[in-house]
Chains A and B, each alone.
Chain A
Amino acid sequence: DIQMTQSPASLSASLGETVSIECLASEGISNDLAWYQQKSGKSPHLLIHTTSRLQDGVPSRFSGSGSGTRYSLKISGMQPEDEADYFCQQSHKYPLTFGSGTKLEIK
């Protein structure tokens, strides 16, 4: 199984600050990486797929990058509505696996 190691586990950022979250795959996943946002009490919501492709309606302050085993999500200019949990997921092969999540809070 492909293990997804996500860091940091938690993060605190000021409004307007740029933040980054990383995922490290235990083997190469050929850019088959998605990012999800989950707000408190809600279902996860797809933000980015295939490493860097924004889902329709996702603000452009969200971006994704990476290759091989290392991938990252960047939020350029933290907004109040960005306070949430974020998860990565590899879609390279079954079993599909998720990172452990990053809790992003406003400082």
Chain B
Amino acid sequence: VQLVESGGGLVQPGRSLKLSCAASGFTFTDSYMAWVRQTPKKGLEWVATISSRGTTTYYPDSVRGRFTISRDYAKSSLYLQMNSLKSEDTATYYCARHGLRINFDYWGQGVMVTVSS
């Protein structure tokens, strides 16, 4: 299993950024997928989940309405569209595969997002 994130960087508050995650080594169509972020101060925070068929998405209140998770089966890729970014969205973002019990059984290497003027 391999998950490789890309698309991070420095962005101004209020702007948008889209993260990508290329998945390989497992049946992408069978797996729920997620994004999790981490900061030294706040620790690990689950950000979004998408069902295996892409029909259902879940978000915490902190990002709902601003972030959108999506997936492309032809490219075996996961995405996170982040709009109206705030300084508190600054974090390392991980792409992760959900295990059978909604835990996270595989993680990418992470990508840094910095929201600052």
Determine whether the beta carbon of A98 is less than 8 Å from that of B107.
Answer: no
A95 touches B61 (CB 8 A): yes
A91: chain B residues within 8 A (beta carbon): 101-103
Q: Can you give 5 contacting A-B residue pairs, CB < 8 Å?
A: A43-B108, A44-B44, A91-B101, A95-B60, A96-B49
A45 to B49, CA, bound (A): 18
Interface size on B, residues (CB 8 A): 22
Q: A32 CA to B3 CA in the complex, in Å?
A: 25
- Chain A hits for B100, CB < 8 A: 49
Number of A-B contacts (CB under 8 A): 58
Assess whether A32 is in contact with B107, with CB atoms less than 8 Å apart. no
B88 at the interface (CB under 8 A from A): no
Is A34 in the interface zone, CB < 8 Å from B? yes
Q: Indicate if the CB atoms of A49 and B44 lie closer than 8 Å.
A: no
With beta carbons under 8 angstroms apart, the residue of B60, B61, B104 that contacts A44 is: B104
For the complex, count residues of A whose C-beta is within 8 A of B. 22
Q: Which of A1, A32, A43, A100 contacts B94 (CB 8 A)?
A: A43
Known contacts A43-B107, A43-B110, A44-B104: A49-B99 contact under CB 8 Å: yes
The 6 closest A-B pairs by CB, nearest first: A91-B102, A34-B103, A43-B107, A95-B60, A96-B46, A98-B44
Chain A positions within 8 Å of B110 at CB level: 43
